[in-house]
């Protein structure tokens, strides 16, 4: 799943040179024309006033000094301060709603954590939120500690008030506090992509959209400021790759290099491996049931034989479709299209359905009837080598996106795309290499490209360079990993550490017992070295001020990570005062008579005599030596401070 790259006339948000898609958006905005975008199989807007692709629906910099009209602070403390919208949630989740309901849009903003209760706290862009804030609603979240495994999320707050977190990922660096981050989410129906500072971190195909939910800003356990909030309507072709996004991963016949093709096992492996779309072939049995099968016969991939169109569903259901691949898959069956779609609907995933064989429009209709019965029309993309099949699909289900498979490029792919109403033109890798410039031409016409079937990293790099939107591969997990390893990732960040407690510059009295708390980023926690006054300590240790000498103390933290090493120091002071000295005497463990004598001298301000008596008591064994040293030191410090000689 990917999103459209349609940009407003202001240009590419990433600062990179505009692609042909970006140039098209500018031309469309200037001309007010949607002629080329009619290639995408989407219903026309019902009203002339409805936003058109490229229209900026919301643009707010808060320079007016107040919350815009029609923005609703549902709960929490929201105000405009210093030209930024500031939301504060001391606890819980607070939100502000605004904007219209949109099926296809880009939502972007500049945000900054001003303060957080802890690194797990977050803000979110609300993607489908009723103006009243009533549940259910969907959000894309960013935590202050965004490098955590769940640093970014797509999540739903259910009517029961429970969080349904569908997707999580880690950002390459922490959002932290006091630093602006640029966030962006591109939404196409139930699909969405999450971007941070121009780089895609995660995408989902599991949004559940309402009929009228709008947009929102949400804060949780934090104070967050927002600026430059912008919402842009997008064209419905969500298969065009936006700037900063990796290749869309399409699993050919499922993860067919790791599991038997066109089986539920291959689908599961592909889903777990990060595939955005599952590609499978569909044919009808003798009694009209759509099954997943590539070959005309079942001979190669099952323990049976015969043309699939001559076998009944009862016969097909008895076949073993796994043993041929590996013993571990013995007993795998040939799935029906209905079974596959039900699994995708309940467990996640979209289908690139290839109509393999169909002798009539009625046979194609039998396949599409299953798609509708399983309520999956919004999550199925149909492709075929047969242009007749695609024309039938367009007549029967005009809401479904279409892709044409070709082994040789047409003389004019754009004209073919317009004639067939294609969302994507899908050439073989070898065909595309003869004229790679067709990718830009198709993009200029609002048509995506999916190249097949490519299983090597050097070819992925080639087609990525051509600008293709998706790669159909037998190795979806490997392609997902390759995507993550590409240059879209930021350089490995250097490790960093902070001392949260005792805070730098803190002054402690003798009764305090702070816990040593250290925060690290991009560091190997197992190798963190912490010392207090040169003595090795550990995070979580309690520092008993009653056992430290009066004066300054130094905490030093050394951290190690893939980006190098770093050290930080922090100092705190233990204060000597009469109350603290009394605490030391009472907690010293000395003999009662000795303690009473020391307290009497303290009450009279006889600090010099108190120090001398503590040292004598230690020599007599009436006062522990360590306690005596601290008592004497504090007493002499107080004597000097009071001007006693």
Give the distance, in angstroms, between the CA of residue 368 and the centroid of all CA atoms in the same chain: 33
294 is catalytic: yes
What does the radius of gyration of the chain's CA atoms come to, in whole angstroms?
A: 33
Distance CA 11, CA 284 (A): 48
Q: What are phi and psi of 287, to 5 degrees?
A: -100, 20
CB atoms within 10 A of CB 513: 11
Give the C-alpha separation, 40 to 105, whole Å. 16
- Contact, 632 vs 615, CB < 8 A? yes
121-152 b/e (C-beta count within 10 Å ≥ 16 → b): bbbbbbbbbbbebeebbbbbbbbbbbbbebbb
Q: Which of 348, 446, 337, 352 is nearest to 404 (CA)?
A: 352
Q: Provide the CA 376 distance to its chain's centre, in angstroms.
A: 25
How far is 539 from 516, CA to CA, in rounded Å? 5
Q: Is 215 helix (H, G, I), strand (E, B) or coil?
A: strand
Cα–Cα distance between 259 and 242 in angstroms, integer? 31
* Surface-to-core class of residue 342, CB atoms within 10 Å of its CB (0-12 exposed, 13-18 middle, 19+ buried): middle
The answer to whether 521 touches 493, Cβ cutoff 8 Å, is yes
CA distances in angstroms from 248 to 334, 449, 468, 535, 557, listed in the order given: 27, 10, 9, 53, 42
Tell whether the torsion through CA atoms of 61, 65, 68 and 69 is positive or negative: negative
Coil, helix or strand for 621?
A: coil
Contacts of 645 (CB under 8 A, 6+ apart): none
Would the CA dihedral through 415, 419, 425, 427 be positive or negative? Answer: negative
Q: Which of the residues 45, 188, 190, 294 is marked catalytic?
A: 294
Exposure on the CB side of residue 243, measured as CA atoms within 13 A:
18
Measured distance CA(184)–CA(344) in Å, rounded:
27
Q: Is the dihedral of CA 316, 318, 322, 325 positive or negative?
A: negative
Smallest CA-to-CA distance from 440 within 407, 466, 401, 409 is with 466
Q: Is 644 an active-site residue?
A: no
Residue of 252, 333, 443, 522 with catalytic role: 252
Answer whether 96's CB lies under 8 Å from 87's CB: yes
Q: Contact, 489 vs 172, CB < 8 A?
A: yes
Closest to 34 in 3D by CA, of 180, 638, 43: 43
* Integer CA distances (angstroms), 123 to 109, 225, 305, 586, in order: 12, 10, 58, 49
Exposed/middle/buried for residue 324 (C-beta within 10 Å: 0-12, 13-18, 19+): middle
- Catalytic residues, which ones? 252, 294
């Amino acid at each position: 799943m990917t999103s459209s790259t349609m940009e407003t006339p202001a240009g590419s948000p990433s600062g990179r040179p505009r692609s042909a898609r970006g140039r098209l958006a500018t031309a469309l905005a200037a001309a007010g024309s949607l002629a080329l975008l009619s290639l995408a199989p989407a219903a026309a807007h019902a009203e002339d006033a409805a936003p058109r692709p490229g229209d900026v629906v919301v643009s707010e910099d808060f320079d007016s000094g107040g919350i815009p009209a029609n923005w609703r602070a549902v709960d929490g403390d929201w105000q405009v301060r210093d030209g930024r919208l500031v939301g504060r949630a001391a606890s819980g989740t607070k939100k502000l709603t605004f904007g219209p309901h949109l099926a296809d849009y880009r939502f972007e903003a500049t945000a900054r954590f001003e303060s957080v209760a802890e690194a797990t706290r977050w803000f979110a862009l609300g993607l489908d939120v009723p103006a009243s804030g009533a549940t259910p609603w969907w959000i894309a979240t960013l935590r202050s500690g965004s490098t955590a495994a769940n640093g970014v999320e797509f999540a739903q707050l259910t009517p029961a008030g429970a969080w349904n977190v569908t997707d999580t990922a880690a950002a390459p660096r922490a959002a932290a506090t006091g630093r602006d981050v640029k966030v962006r989410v591109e939404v196409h129906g139930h699909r969405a992509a999450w971007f941070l500072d121009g780089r895609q971190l995660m995408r989902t195909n599991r949004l559940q959209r309402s009929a009228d939910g709008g947009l929102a800003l949400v804060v949780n356990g934090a104070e967050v400021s927002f600026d430059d909030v912008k919402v842009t309507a997008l064209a419905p072709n969500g298969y065009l790759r936006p700037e900063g996004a990796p290749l869309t991963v399409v699993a050919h016949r499922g993860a067919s290099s790791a599991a038997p093709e066109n089986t539920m096992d291959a689908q599961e492996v592909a889903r777990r491996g990060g595939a955005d779309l599952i590609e499978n072939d569909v044919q009808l049995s003798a009694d009209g049931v759509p099954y997943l099968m590539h070959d005309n016969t079942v001979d190669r991939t099952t323990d049976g034989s015969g043309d699939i169109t001559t076998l009944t569903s009862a016969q097909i259901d008895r076949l073993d479709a796994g043993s041929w691949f590996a013993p571990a898959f013995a007993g795998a069956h040939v799935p029906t299209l209905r079974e596959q779609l039900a699994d995708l609907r309940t467990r996640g995933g979209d289908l690139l359905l290839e109509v393999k064989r169909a002798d009539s429009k009625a046979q194609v209709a039998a396949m599409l009837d299953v798609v509708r019965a399983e309520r999956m029309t919004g999550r199925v993309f149909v492709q075929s080598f047969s242009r007749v099949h695609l024309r039938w699909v367009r007549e029967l289900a005009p809401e479904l996106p279409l892709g044409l498979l070709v082994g040789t490029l047409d003389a004019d792919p754009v004209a073919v795309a317009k004639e067939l109403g294609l969302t994507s033109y899908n050439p073989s890798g070898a065909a595309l290499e003869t004229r790679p410039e067709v990718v830009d031409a198709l993009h200029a016409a609002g048509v995506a490209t999916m190249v097949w079937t490519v299983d090597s990293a050097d070819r992925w790099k080639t087609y990525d360079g051509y600008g293709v939107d998706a790669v159909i591969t037998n190795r979806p997990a490997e392609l997902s990993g390759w995507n993550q390893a590409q240059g879209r990732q930021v350089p490995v960040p250097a490790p960093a550490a902070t001392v949260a407690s005792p805070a730098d510059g803190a002054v402690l009295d003798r009764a305090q017992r702070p816990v040593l708390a250290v925060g690290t980023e991009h560091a190997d926690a197992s190798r963190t070295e912490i010392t207090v006054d040169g003595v090795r300590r550990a995070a979580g240790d309690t520092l008993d001020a009653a056992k430290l000498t009066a004066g300054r103390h130094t905490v030093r933290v050394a951290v190690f990570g893939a980006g190098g090493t770093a050290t930080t120091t922090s100092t705190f002071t233990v204060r000597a005062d009469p109350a603290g000295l009394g605490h030391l005497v009472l907690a010293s463990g000395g003999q009662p008579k000795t303690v009473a004598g020391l307290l009497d001298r303290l009450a009279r301000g006889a600090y010099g005599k108190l120090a001398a008596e503590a040292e004598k008591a230690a020599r007599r064994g009436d006062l522990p030596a360590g306690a005596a040293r601290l008592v004497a030191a504090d007493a002499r410090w107080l004597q000097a401070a009071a001007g006693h000689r």
